[in-house]
Amino acid sequence: MFLPSLHDFKRIVVKVGSSLLVDSKRGAARRDWLHGLADDLAGLHRGGTDILVVSSGAIALGRSVLGLPHGALRLEDSQAAASVGQIALSRIWAEAFAERGIVAGQILVTWQDTEERRRYLNARETLSRLLVLRAAPVINENDTVATGEIRYGDNDRLAARVATMASADLLILLSDITGLYDAPPANNPDAQLIPVVPRISAEIEAMAGGAASELSRGGMRTKIEAAKIATSGGAHMVIADGRPSNPVGRILQGDPCTWFLTPSTPVTARKKWIAGSLAPQGVVTIDDGAARALASGASLLPAGVTAVEGDFCRGDSVIVRDLHGGEIGRGLVGYDVGMARKVIGRNSRHIAEVLGVEGRTEMIHRDDLVLAGDLSLVSEH
């Protein structure tokens, strides 16, 4: 089966685990390894690829600085270690990228930021702006405030949510195993690496094993879960051995790994979700000029809106109608209904004056809009 090349992708999320980044014996970062990875990512970045990193390691670094013992930590100790270690982790990544001419940005997220629509949109817009500015976001779960009930607990699934949020077309999980095997390789010397997974079946899920190291809170099971999230969001995913130097470069060279393929794209998957999964909470009526602009692929600006109905909040699904009442499409609205009423018909330059705060340029961004004529997206759902 033909496999894609890393050069084929426009936006790549790379997940780095604690056991790769941190030397457990010294309680310090493996800087030589990190700089090899940074070289790999900088090469892709120079070629025009957007790079995002989901990095573990804050607790592992912080527990060493604070002199905390090995093994499971109490919640308060874990949070304290994360607080201290996050400073070190951010500095390590910022310095590694800066040496290669890349600006790093730090984003700490919790479960709610990727699951609650309003906070999801805020995080998505921050990521999008950083990438437009050619920065490399470094993301981690905010372990200083998250508790067991409201946290991911592993960065595999978090990385998959970030990939979906950022509309990435590839997620790379760097692991301490080469990929998915048909049996646990530690227990079965005849276990065979599976190079390609076209679809995640029950048989594939049954192959998942347990966690591989003390520092890792994941395991193959969470990687399969991450693959389900990523591929349903339109991103391919790769599990690769991250232990050697230049691990992403080795994927590029064709070293053994496991590819999980998706038949979709990030934009198509997102629009299928909007078209078929969300109940509309209101109606936005637009003029003829705005209707023509949407048909040509533009976003919906407040100037083209003539009326709004319903009781919607920012991020809710709304129906878009023309002046004759015909449904043009559906999309995720960028304003609460009260603020939307204040800005309809207004030029975007005047929004801050009307609202008293800086508002969104778009009423509905084109990536959050599905036109009624695009029947293929709706019928495939």
Q: Is position 175 annotated in a ligand binding site?
A: yes
How far apart are the C-alpha atoms of 90 and 107, rounded to whole Å? Answer: 10
Using the 8-state DSSP alphabet, how is residue 362 labeled?
Answer: -
How far apart are the C-alpha atoms of 200 and 192, rounded to whole Å? Answer: 17
Q: Is position 56 annotated in a ligand binding site?
A: yes
- Whole-number Cα distances in Å, 234 to 65, 167, 171: 40, 8, 10
Q: Is position 15 annotated in a ligand binding site?
A: yes
Beta strands 11-16 and 170-175 are: parallel
Q: Return phi, psi of residue 192, to 5°.
A: -110, 135
**DSSP assignment string, 95-141:** HHHHTTT--EEEEEE-HHHHHSHHHHHHHHHHHHHHHHTT-EEEEEE
Task: Tell me the torsion sign for CA atoms 153, 18, 9, 298.
Answer: positive
| 13 sits in which H/E element | strand 11-16
Q: Is position 143 annotated in a ligand binding site?
A: yes
Binding-site residue numbers for ATP are: 15, 175-176
Binding residues: 15, 56, 143, 155, 175-176
Which residues define the annotated binding site for substrate?
A: 56, 143, 155
